[in-house]
Chain A
């Protein structure tokens, strides 16, 4: 009985940590797609970039961990802004096929560049001593790194929700997601709003990639391998919603962990089957209102 309980607790805990990271990575994608209707398959590239920035600033430049995480956010946000101004904005009015092809092209390039710069091997994460070891809570020991992940991601998510629900910027974003033409006509500069939101969302992806580098291995094929998870979070959760992807990310995190623990012979089978079932039941996602 106690063995079952402790495995349940362990699965819930690891699953929540994984789900939080997935959410921080994917939430930007939900906003990008909801706001501009842009199918950005290359979102994982930003997460991978964050992961590489973290591992190399910890390993090669021996920077402190918090600085490395901050750098991952900042550099990815700035880089994505350049990409948005230079390339992405040419595709806002374009068809779905063009957007898909363009972003697949970006993925191919990012994978190749990552291989050229960092090689094909998985990058080691040099965690500081205070993140190694165990953290005692309620008579059980939890890995300190995952406790840290949950706390930090939780704080980020709270800040994000506050920003979207309670600030003027958030009100403008919500207005633009609901009805872009109307928001424009009352004087909201949606292009600028979108550029900022895009940078923020990509920065968050970089942050998530950096924080989760220990869980989601940083290697060149990252954007291909995890694409389906990021897209699942967004499409199951619902476009343009903040709450939906959160529920979806936790669901995927916990069920993926549980499947790997109890039924490794089925692999990711249940996740895909559940995704298909949910999308059939609610084509707009759990909390979405449109496709």
Chain B
């Protein structure tokens, strides 16, 4: 096991700055890929929020896209219908909205366990999808919400066609999200979550407020997912129905598993590999793409539960032993 729990030193290691160096390098070296890069950064933030509840708190959810969608739609509706176009205000509004949705639905689903909980997450996401689909005057329904215009950040930086501003906004927001999640994981709060994941009965027994801790982390995770949704709206200036629904939730789980669950940086590696592979392969061979995704998922669960980072750890350990 990699030490990402309470026992590990919370100091930021030098390797942990590498993703940010890479992020800045992409900005200068690959200017034609910045919109795609912004998409990847958004998904990393989204995956990070999922890792917090699935990987650390052990809550299995099939409806995390509800929060991403809520953030995306709140930002989109405010920009397109209310003409509230300041990107920072939109981010805050999406965070609040997703947080409210998170705390209300969390208060409901966290009282249950097992299949019932799984079913409730699915049903709540399906309910959100149905609302977005049918409330056509507000959400645009199946056609999507267009007419979203976003004002320049601080009135200075316009959202350009090449995605420069969007990319930097996503990078800075992700940095903030990463810092928050990292702080949480290494805090006593994070240790409680890991304890609940491993054995919630014992956590009850030692007097930890299990339900309140889970509700807190569920709400935080929902807020981060909402920010990711708002970022996607600001980058694309459009909201489609596909931000909700079961398939994005499923794909996000796939990305997280591919990178490695409960490892913080799995949420970085997974979306990068998945989305680049999707961009390169999915258009030419759509059927084989899904076949490959399914096969990979089964193989990862059977043989490599730590995902790519787990494999890298195992490889590094083997090299160290043979040296």
Contacts and interface: CB of A to CB of B under 8 A. Distances in A.
Contact of A283 (B62, B112, B124, B288): B112
B126 A107 contact: no
B293 interface: yes
B277 interface: no
A39 B297 contact: no
A115 B287 contact: yes
B60 A97 contact: yes
B176 interface: no
A283 B297 CA distance: 30
Interface residues of A, number: 47
A269 B134 contact: yes
Nearest to A34: B115
Interface stretch (A17-25, A185-193, A204-212, A271-279): A271-279
Contact of B293 (A87, A108, A231, A234): A108
B204 interface: no
Interface in A79-105: 87, 90-91, 94, 96-98, 100-102, 104-105
B133 A267 contact: yes
Interface in B264-294: 286-291, 293-294
Interface in A112-144: 112-113, 115-116
B50 to A, nearest CB: 11
B60 A102 contact: no
A112 B291 contact: yes
A90 B286 CA distance: 29
Given A266-B134, A267-B134, A283-B116, A272 B291 contact: no
B175 interface: no
A56 interface: no
Contacts of A227: 122, 246
Contacts of B294: 104-112
Interface stretch (B35-43, B230-238, B298-306): B298-306
A291 B114 contact: yes
Given A97-B54, A109-B294, A227-B246, A235 B115 contact: yes
A159 interface: no
Interface in A232-291: 232, 234-235, 239, 265-269, 272-273, 275-276, 279-280, 283-285, 291
A109 B254 CA distance: 13
A100 B62 contact: yes
A98 B120 contact: no
B202 interface: no
A102 to B, nearest CB: 5
A-B pairs, top 5 by smallest CB distance, nearest first, are A108-B294, A105-B297, A109-B294, A112-B291, A112-B290
15 contacts: A96-B118, A98-B301, A100-B253, A105-B298, A109-B290, A112-B288, A115-B290, A224-B247, A228-B123, A231-B118, A231-B122, A235-B115, A235-B119, A280-B111, A291-B114
Given A97-B58, A101-B254, A269-B131, 7 more contacts: A104-B294, A105-B296, A108-B291, A231-B118, A272-B130, A283-B113, A283-B116
